[in-house]
Amino acid sequence: MTTATNAAVAAANTYVQQWVKEQAEICKPDKIVWLNGSQQERDALFEQGCRDGVFVKLNQQKWPGCYYHRSNSNDVARTEHLTFICTPTADGAGPTNNWMSDKDAYAKLKPMYEGSMKGRTMYVIPFIMGPLGSPLAKVGVQLSDSLYVAVSMGIMTRMGDVAWKQLGDGNEFTRCLHSVLDCNPDRRFICHFPQDNTIWSIGSGYGGNALLGKKCLALRIASYLGQQQSWMAEHMLLMCAQAPSGEKTYVAAAFPSACGKTNFAMLIPPEKYQKAGWKITTLGDDIVWMWVDQKSGKLHAINPEAGYFGVVPGTNTRSNPNAIKAMSKNSIFTNVGLVTLPDGSYDVWWEDCDEEPPAKCIDWQGKEWTPEIARKTGAKAAHPNSRFTAPMANNPVLDASANDPAGVPVSAIIFGGRRSKTVPLVFQAFNWMHGVYLGATLGSETTAAATGQVGVVRRDPMAMLPFIGYNVNEYLAHWFRMRRTMKDCPRIFHVNWFRKNDQGKFMWPGFGDNMRVLKWIIDRCQGRAYAVETPIGWMPRAQDLDLDGLGLSPADVEAIQSVNVQEYMSELLSQEELLLKLAGELPKEIVFQRELLVSRLAL
């Protein structure tokens, strides 16, 4: 084994050096490369990756700095059934997580890591989640035998020597050990050890299973740390709405998958709003960390990530022009179609992009794809979970505070789901406690994108179900308890862009017009807009929403905002499925809120 002796090694403190040494003794890589995060290093890694067949360089006129990668076709999405919270007792993981005892997990996985990096390079990837110097920023060090993971971490996090600067001579860093091994689903495990601040991932090289800063650290481990230290790690976008007056309102929002979270984070307001001087800017599209600022007593938030790992199919200049611009340079495309251009250079293609299908391409499985094959077999060129990995700095509407270590004060938290019936377009919780209940019982209908039945309401508390790194009941209790730590707490809202009428048609235009709903939310937060009390919360009347130019009548708005008592009673019954699963330790506040809702509906 050779150990590189570059400056990056010297920059790491003795705790890191000792830990890397111990892991290398287990994994036995041929070579250890310590990454420093420089542009030169990046270029060299991509070159190496192209030589090794990990990457294909795309046509650099069309896609400057962009590369294509294909993951193993058995390894194209997170694998929740192979994801474990590993704590001394099952109670630590709670009723919604897979649990393995920490001792058993170490004992099971350690033999798999033995010699797993023989003949390979171990990359030492130091990274920060959060802006350098933020009170919440956390350092992680990932050891990985995947070059693809190494460069992806360079986009998704603040990677390199900057992390040693944040860490100083401390021992507080998340120890992330990752080996693709033989990419065999039978030997694939994503194990979290919250008490040890450690993540062991083996047998996968893609997405949240392998880029350990994202769901593993920034959500599962961080949610546990947040509960211990009185802050919050949430599966939320973070955006700023700037009014013509210059007033800025920061909004965090949680939506289960397939509800258009990335599109909302990069929302393009209708033209008349743009003309009037409204601006929407993005801080993050997936994760927020929030803490109570001691001076203001308000909830402040940062986006711990530095890049976007966004779904590609369906992204085009109509659905999300800002995402298209974000991926236009220095990005990686994974599991999309690969097209050979007449001059021998390479291009990418995916379903529902801006361009016509190519006469042929290589699909996500490495097979030939033609429009003819697609017609006959339904085969897709791009996997539905194919992704772009892009630096957030590419986003044309990146918020000016995206790198501010002090974060931004959050005025509104929005929960939303995909609900064709029952749930109105928008309403406001009566208070924080009621808002937590709305988040806890958040439901969304399954779409064709997910496996299983279509159109079934799945409960997904705070859109965090697969990402809560500890007991869900303690997680909900933590949400309630946070109220006491704030002097001025965010207002909580619920939205549903997806309500349908009796003819099965969407009742709300959605997309950029969601700005109109956002405007009411902002005006509520700023103490400007009116609302009426209903059994389920505060609601705008038709005249409180800007409907100008939409072609909706007041009756249409009444329909989209209507609350049917019978339907809501059924909704309550359907929430029981989740609540029964949590029974026993369910925070009493949930029961109280439920009872209050029942009595308001019954009166």
> CB-wise, 207 or 540, nearer to ligand SAT?
207
Handedness of CA 354, 360, 361, 362 (dihedral sign): positive
259 assigned to active site? yes
Closest separation in Å from C-beta 235 to ligand SAT: 8
Name the packing angle between helices 588-602 and 565-582 (round to 10°). Answer: 170
Query: Which is it for the CA torsion 325, 331, 334, 338, positive or negative?
Result: positive
Give the torsion sign (CA, 219, 223, 224, 226).
positive
The residue (of 262 and 322) whose beta carbon lies closer to Mn ion is 262
Q: Dihedral angle at the C-alpha atoms of 575, 311, 451, 80, nearest 10 degrees?
A: -70
**AA identity, residue 223:** S
- Give 78 or 524: the residue with its C-beta nearer to ligand SAT: 78
Q: Which does 214 bind (CB under 5 to 8 A by kind): ligand SAT, Mn ion, none?
A: ligand SAT
| Cα gap 231→479, rounded to integer Å | 9
Token pair, residue 131, equals: 């802006």
Question: Are the C-beta atoms of residues 260 and 241 closer than 8 Å to each other?
Answer: no
Judged by beta carbon distances under 5 to 8 A according to partner kind, the member of ligand SAT, Mn ion, none in contact with residue 207 is ligand SAT
The three-state secondary structure class of 70 is coil
Residues that bind Mn ion (CB under 5 A): 286
**Which pair of structure tokens corresponds to residue 217?**
């650290």
Which candidate in 86, 183, 191, 259 is catalytic?
A: 259
Q: Which residue(s) pair with 239 in the sheet?
A: 251, 282
Q: What is the DSSP string of 458-485?
A: EE-GGG-GGG--S-HHHHHHHHHHHGGG
Nearest distance in Å: CB 217, ligand SAT:
11
Report in angstroms how near the CB of residue 316 gets to ligand SAT at its nearest.
20
Strand 67-69 relative to strand 56-57: parallel, antiparallel, unpaired?
A: antiparallel
Within a 13 Å sphere around the CA of 132, how many CA atoms are in the beta-carbon half?
A: 12
Nearest to 373, CA basis, from 383, 387, 385, 361 = 361
The structure tokens listed for 51 are: 């030589």
Coarse DSSP helix, strand, coil percentages of the chain, rounded to the nearest 5 percent: 35, 25, 40
Conformation bin of residue 170: beta by default, left when phi > 0, alpha when psi is -120 to 50: beta
Shortest Cβ 390–ligand SAT spacing (Å): 13
User: Which one of ligand SAT, Mn ion, none interacts with residue 419, CB within 5 to 8 A by kind?
Assistant: none
369 binds, among ligand SAT, Mn ion, none (CB under 5 to 8 A by kind): none
List of residues contacting ligand SAT (CB under 6 A): 78, 207-208, 214-215, 309
Residue number, 174 or 422, with CB nearest to ligand SAT: 174
Nearest residue (CB) to ligand SAT, 76 versus 560: 76
Sign of CA dihedral 175, 180, 182, 184: positive
Identity of the residue, 286 or 589, whose beta carbon is nearer to Mn ion in the bound complex:
286
Per the structure block, which two tokens stand in for 371? 């429009």
Q: Which residue is nearest to Mn ion (CB)?
A: 286
Q: Minimal CB distance to ligand SAT: which residue?
A: 208
CA distance readout (Å), 51 to 55, 116, 484, 567: 8, 22, 56, 60
DSSP string, 521-553: HHHHHTT----EEETTEEE--GGGS--TTS---
**125 versus 557: smaller Cβ distance to ligand SAT:** 125
User: What is the smallest separation between the CB atom of 59 and ligand SAT, expressed in angstroms?
Assistant: 27
Q: Which does 78 bind (CB under 5 to 8 A by kind): ligand SAT, Mn ion, none?
A: ligand SAT
By a kind-dependent CB cut-off of 5 to 8 A, residue 215 interacts, out of Mn ion, ligand SAT, none, with: ligand SAT
Q: Which does 37 bind (CB under 5 to 8 A by kind): ligand SAT, Mn ion, none?
A: none
Q: Which of residues 249 and 257 has its CB atom nearest to Mn ion in the complex?
A: 257
Which tokens belong to 286? 């997936």
The least CB distance from residue 80 to ligand SAT, in Å, is 9
CB of 286 to ligand SAT, least distance (A): 7
Residues with active-site annotation: 259
